Amino acid sequence: MHDHAVMKGMQRAELARQTGCNLETVRYYEKVGLLPEPPRTTAGYRSYDTTHERRLRFVLRARELGFSLDEIRELLRLVDERDRPCADASAIAAAHLDDVRAKIADLKRMERVLKDVVGQCAGSTRPECPLIEALFQNRPMAAR
């Protein structure tokens, strides 16, 4: 009877379909330890259940928000241990938010520099291109 219940689980391809990711993604998250190894049927097939699906959805959503694999691993540890998860999870998210804000500042700086260089290049027929010349310079373009 126990075997019959296991047979009703999902195979890897079905888990991937249910969560909207591809098969290689499921394999990868298993390999790096974010998804636990599922039990196998007597025929040797992996049998994923709703716990695996829920955990995979958690990982996929966290990746959409830009969390690193190490940050996700730490969040999942909090889920698994259930010891003061909110305070610790909030600290992880706050550090991640700082990183996101730093990236946004970097992107805005890159946008300004590229906008300036593209503006210098627009409609120009001169032989030397400001963008190409700027890329050859030793100093960072953002400092210009």
What residue ranges of the chain have pLDDT lower than 50? 1-7, 144
Cβ neighbour number for residue 128 with a 10 Å cutoff: 7
- For 15, 64, 69, 90, the CA distances from 80, given in Å and listed in that order, are 21, 21, 16, 16
Helix (H) or strand (E) holding 40: none
Residue 142: per-residue pLDDT: 57
Going by C-beta distance under 8 Å and a sequence separation of 6 or more, which residues neighbour residue 110?
A: 142
Tell me which residue has tokens 């946008």: 111
Q: Give the span between the Cα atoms of 18 and 13, in whole angstroms.
A: 9
pTM attached to this predicted model: 0.74
Q: What is the pLDDT of residues 77-103, one digit of tens each?
A: 998 887 767 888 999 999 999 999 999
Report pLDDT for 137: 80
Whole-number pLDDT of residue 3: 42
Q: What whole-number distance in Å separates Cα of residue 100 and Cα of residue 64?
A: 13
- Give the domains, in start order, of the chain with CATH numbers: 2-83 (1.10.1660.10)
What's the angle, vertex CA 63, arms to CA 60 and CA 64, rounded to 5? 90
Q: Given this model, what pLDDT does residue 4 score?
A: 40
